[in-house]
Structure formats: C-alpha cells, structure tokens
Chains A and B, each alone.
Chain A
Amino acid sequence: MSSPALGSARRPWLLLAPTLAVIGILLLWPMVRVVVLSFQDFGLRELVRGGAELIGLQNYRDVLTDERLWRVALPNTVVFALVCVVLTVVVGTLVALLLHRLSPGWRTLVTMAVMAAWAVPAVTGTYVWVYLFDARAGFLTGVLGQLGLVDVATQNLFTERGWFYAIATLNVVHHGFPFVAVTVLAGLVTIPSELPEAAMIDGANAWQRFRHVTLPMLKPVFAIVTILSTIWDFKVFTQIYLMPGGDGSNREVLNLGTWSYITAMSQNQFGLGAAIAVLLTVLLMVITAVYLRTLFKEEEL
C-alpha cells in the first residue's frame, strides 16, 4: 500500500473514483439541479416541454418577502428542531446512563425495547400518534380531557399550532432518542471505571461525576449525536406531512420541508419550491458550521 513508486499521486484518486462517481451522480447532480431550478420559472409546462426561463433571484425574492416564511415556516422549523434536539439528546443520554447501570440481562431486554421505538418506520409511528390523539376516539385526547387540559367537546388538537407541534415533538423524540441512547452507551463503556471511582472517592456526587468526568470524555460523541439530530429535526417532513392538516390544509403548521414540497409538487411551482429547499439547506449549513466551530475552538483551549 505504501509503495512510493509508479503513479503514486494518481492511485488514491483511482481508488476513490467509484465512490466519487456514485456521490456525484446521486448527490451532487441532483443538488446542482435543485440550485439551477431555484433560479428558473419552472412549472408543469416546462416540466413536460422543457425550455424553462431563467429569472435570476425572483424566486428567492418571492420566498424572502413572503410573510408565511417569517411568521410560519421558519419559526415552526427552528423552534421545533431546537426543542426536539434538546429533548432527544437529554432523554437519550438518560436512557444510556440507565442502560449502563443495568446488569447484562436487563440491559439486553431494555435495549430491545428501546430499539423497537427506533425500528418503527416514521409513517407507521406517525399514524399511531395521530390515532392516539384523534379528536373523537384518541386515548391520549381522552386522558388530556380527564385532566382538564383539553376541552374534548370543542377542541381538535391538530388544528392548533402549539398542540400540533407538541404531538409532532413526541413523535420525533420517541423515534429519535434510541439512536442517541445507543451511541452514548457505546461511549460510556469506553470510559475506564477507575475515573468515576476516583471521583467518587474524592466525594463527587452523581451530577458532578457526570458533569466533570463523563461529559468531557464523551464530547465527540455528543457532538455527533447533536449534529445528526439537528439535521434530522430540521428537515423533518414525513412526521409533519402525514398529520391531519400537515399536508397544507392547515397553513399555520407548515415548516420549510412541507412548504417546499407542497409548493413544488402540489402547486407545480418547482422553481419556488427549489428556492425554499436551497434556503433550508443554507440555514442548516450555517447552523452546523457555527456549531462545529465553537466545538473545535473549545477543544483547542
């Protein structure tokens, strides 16, 4: 492998070529296409007959001046993602700490139970939550009614923005925490037991041991799960689209993902939909970049 001779400069590229080709075809080309699309006036007619007109930044101007972006889609996307990421990571970490303390037999059992939540496809999981919160027959709606939190006779939770996203949060966190739990657990088992033991002898309580021993050691793990959760929760689509009203009939619950899809696919404004998708991507890139930067900066200290 380390032979310095013949064509050594070219060889790595040769070996990378298949991977690059696949990435280029499956990822790069569609992305370029979306970006180009976002500068075009592209409707159903152009889709069939070709010949789309370049209209510069018009689509972006339309999106950025649409009050639906600022009042609905952006807040829904950002706040929802923020809440979901925090909850997913916290719940996942707590479950990981629990798993770490269990005996091997119990650990297997609980891990399997946790995995079940992960294994359920998003579509199925969403329908289960929708069913549980159904305005007439939903079990959890009934419970909330008994608690006096909901007036079952007049309220349909899905029509209210706050409730809609509360239900979506439950769904997404429930679906997302097992990944965090399993990843953090994998990190936890790599911490030598001497460290927490030494801390304990020094009189550190559970929180202090977590804060000053576990957390610093697992920093890269938390970085990974937080970034991945951020990306997933920002671009959440299925779980929103499939809820009652999420497909566009309730305008208050649009997020950037569903708004982009509905604009492009249901209204055939492909250029405008692509512009929304590009904005979502840029937003996500900025957030991830800022996050990684702070992370690496701290590490250098």
Chain B
Amino acid sequence: MMRTSRATRLLALAAASTLTLTACGSDDSGSGSGGDAGSGGGDASGETLTVWIMEGTNPDATPFFEEVSTAFEEETGATLDIQYVPWASAHDKFTNSIAGGTGPDVAEVGTTWTPEFGDAGALMDVSDKIEEAGLADGYVDSVLESGTLDGAVYGAPWYAGVRSIIYRTDLLEEAGVEPPTTWDELVSVGEALKESDPDLIPFPVPNSTHTTTPFIWGAGGEVATQEGDTWESGLDSPESIEGLQFLESLAGEHDLSTPAASTWNEADTRDAFARGEAGMIISGSWTPKSIVEANGDLEGKLGVVPIPGPDGGMSPSFAGGSHLSVFETTDNEDLAWTFVEMMTTGEYAEMWGEQTGFFPATNDLLSQLEEAEDPLVAPFAQQMLEASATLPVTPQWGQVEGAQTIPAMMESILGGKASPEEAATTAADEMNEIFGS
C-alpha cells in the first residue's frame, strides 16, 4: 500500500511540469455570457470570437468592450468573448495555450513578443490583409516594424506608449526646485526632495528593464546591435556601463532610492508613487490616469518631463505597445481580421487611446495628438517623437525577457552583489548565449 502511494506520488511529481502544459489555459471553450444572439443581420451569427486582452491597460475596459461587442455583433452577428490576462503571466499563458491548442482567435500581444510567437508559427501573417485594407501606410512605422519578421507581419499595430519621468509638482515646489533637464539635475532635484522630506523616496530605482534602458541609451550604449543575421549584446560596452554606474549611484552614493526597490518592477514602483511615497518615477504615458484613480489626492499634483540626457536633451526610452494578432489556430480568419481592423483604426482606436493614455498606432490619430497641449500628454508625445527606442526585433528577444536578464543584472547591482561592470558582463554573456542558440 505504502509502496504504491509512494510510487504514485513520485509519478505525480515528475508529471507536474507536463501537467502545467496541458492543464492551464483551457478556458476558451465555455460559451460567452448572455445567450441572446437574436439581433444583428451579419453572416456570422451564432459564432463566438475569443479575444485575449491584457489586464490593466484601460481602467474602464469593461464598458469599452461592452460597446465594442455590441457594435461587432451588429456588424457581423458574431459574439465577442473578451478575456483579460494579466501582463505578468501572459507570456507563460501564451506558451501554455499554444502547447494545449487552446489559444484564442485574437490576442493582444506585447510588441516585443510578437516576433517570437510569430517565428514559432503561432501567429498568422496578416500582411495581405493589411495590404487589402489599404493600411500599409496607415500604421505607425516603428510599431508595424516591431511585428515584422522577414516580410511577414504577425500583428496589427494597436497602440503604443513611451516612458518619461512623472513627478509630484507639489513636492518639487515645496523643495524649491524645477524638474530635471540633465543627469546632474536629476541628482540635485532628488537631493533637494530628500532634504525637504526625509521620508520620501526621491527617485526609486527598481530592477525593471524599461526603467534601466534609458540610462544605457542616454549614455550612448546599446542593448544589442544587429550585424547581418546575428545580434550581439551591447550591455558591456563602456557607454552602457557608464549609464549603469550613474543609475547605481542614484541608489547608492546619492541614496535617492530605497532597498525595497531592488525587487520592485514597474508596477510596484508606480504603486509606491501612487501611495505618495515617491517624488519622481520613470513611468509610462498611460499611467497618470491610473495613478490619480488609485489615489485621488494626487489629482492636479502630477507633472511630466521627458527623461533628461546626461548633459541636456533627452535619454531615449522604450516605446512599447501592443499588436493585435490573429492566432494560427483560429477557425474564423476573416471574422478575426474584421475585429482587428475595427479595433486598430478609427473610432475605437481613438477612444481606446483617450481612455488609456496610450498613443494610437495609426499616423492619422497620432498627428492629432501632436498638437495636444495637455501637460500630462505633451511631454510624453515629445519623448515618443524625439527620443524613443525599441528593443531588438528578433525571435530570441522574448527569451531574453523570459530569462529576466536585465532585471537580474539590476538586482545584483542594487543588492550590492556585483559592480555595474561585472553585472553587465554577466548579463551580456547570457544575452549572447541566447542570441546564439
């Protein structure tokens, strides 16, 4: 008896990792909510399109998608089944669903993941459909390119955002300083904030990739460069290391961060800022709204400034966003594309941008925003147009993100376990190994 139970337990243990492959992500077969599919005169009535959308981008996502669902049903007769996926577990969920064949028809895919999943054959090449719809010149180039691999387009650009510095206008005023325009000023503003309120974290330095890269790019370094078909990491270049040393000095020498931040990601940092514990943070163009929503006391107390360059100008920051991709396993190619087109162009793309603070990914809509004078939008728009950068467009980049190469580098630097130079060398080696495989 005991023998069997031991044996089965051991089997179960060994099976555990495979079971996760098959057990998760199998939640797309249930019928959507609301059974009355009576209205609508389209040709796809009775059919359901399953769509995965990242959670948290739009604080009012539910009413938005209710409206979209109604419009979609009117146009096509088909029902939309919108499912929300948290960013943190999305990459694993995609992988699991691909393994189990339980993927959705359409999914929002982070722009840095599109090449990886596209290359693996999980996403449909929609270049023909974009051509047919006359949208080839309609989408913003950089966002379209980040989903393009060897001429195949694995995702239609939906929205994009960029990171800048969000600061507390009231606290800066109290400390008698202006927002920083150089790296030296970033230090002096931080020190002034600390002096006026010792409990404040003037400028938290988390381990996130997107709060680290501006300092690498700002110092003239590169995350990776392409030569022919191969990519090579630039994290260990003298310029990159200089940027990392400066970033480390903000936490170490100048004590503008907090030890807790060494295990923070972007969301943790934003939470601390929303609780009123931080003075300045690097944060996305879509976040001021959710910060104010989390803490109403901050209304009217937020300011935005592009991330300064070492001696003025700007440090580039990552322009990320999302594609809407059609999964290769869909039975409803045309229906799926109808949805994608509806979401990425015109009325709904504009509404999504307004509600989320992201920039729409069509040229028409973006140029409208250029003229906006909203103080919480204009500096971001300036950063987007003048100082934004993208991460390597290669299928391997998803693996680099999965390995958490840059967060691991930052965590060992911030935890005092390695100097910026040592940590950067280790990270560069790891990245090169992934690029080479």
Contact = CB atoms under 8 A, between A and B. Distances in A.
SS class, residues of chain B in contact with chain A: helix
Nearest to B120: A44
Contact of B411 (A28, A33, A245, A284): A245
Contacts of B411: 159, 245, 249-250
B121 interface: yes
Interface in B1-39: 2, 6, 8-20, 22
B206 to A, nearest CB: 10
B385 interface: no
Contact of A45 (B10, B14, B119, B415): B119
B384 interface: no
A245 B15 contact: no
B116 A44 contact: yes
Contact of B402 (A160, A250, A260, A266): A266
B119 A27 contact: no
A47 to B, nearest CB: 5
Contact of B121 (A49, A280, A281): A49
Nearest to B123: A48
Contacts of A235: 13, 16
A285 interface: yes
A36 to B, nearest CB: 10
Nearest to B3: A292
A127 to B, nearest CB: 13
B89 to A, nearest CB: 10
Contact of B399 (A23, A27, A267, A284): A267
Interface residues of B, number: 49
Contacts of B10: 231, 281, 284-285, 288
A206 interface: no
A267 B2 CA distance: 38
B95 A135 contact: no
A253 B95 CA distance: 24
Contacts of A267: 399, 402-403, 434
Given A27-B8, A281-B10, A250 B17 contact: no
Interface stretch (B214-222, B254-262, B361-369): B254-262
B408 A34 contact: no
Interface string B237-268: 00000000000000000000011101100000
B91 A266 contact: yes
A247 interface: yes
A60 interface: no
Interface in A28-69: 28, 30-31, 33-35, 37, 43-45, 47-49
Interface in B408-437: 408, 411-412, 414-415, 417, 434
Contact of B258 (A49, A136, A264, A274): A136
12 contacts: A26-B15, A27-B11, A33-B18, A44-B117, A47-B120, A135-B263, A156-B415, A244-B263, A249-B408, A252-B417, A266-B404, A278-B14
Given A23-B8, A248-B408, A265-B96, 13 more contacts: A23-B11, A30-B15, A45-B119, A47-B120, A134-B260, A156-B262, A235-B13, A244-B263, A245-B263, A249-B411, A250-B412, A267-B402, A268-B116
Interface of A: 23, 26-28, 30-31, 33-35, 37, 43-45, 47-49, 134-136, 152-156, 158-160, 224, 227-228, 231, 235, 244-245, 247-252, 260-262, 264-268, 273-274, 277-278, 280-281, 284-285, 288, 292
Interface of B: 2, 6, 8-20, 22, 91-92, 95-96, 98-99, 116-117, 119-122, 207, 258-260, 262-263, 277, 328, 398-399, 402-404, 407-408, 411-412, 414-415, 417, 434
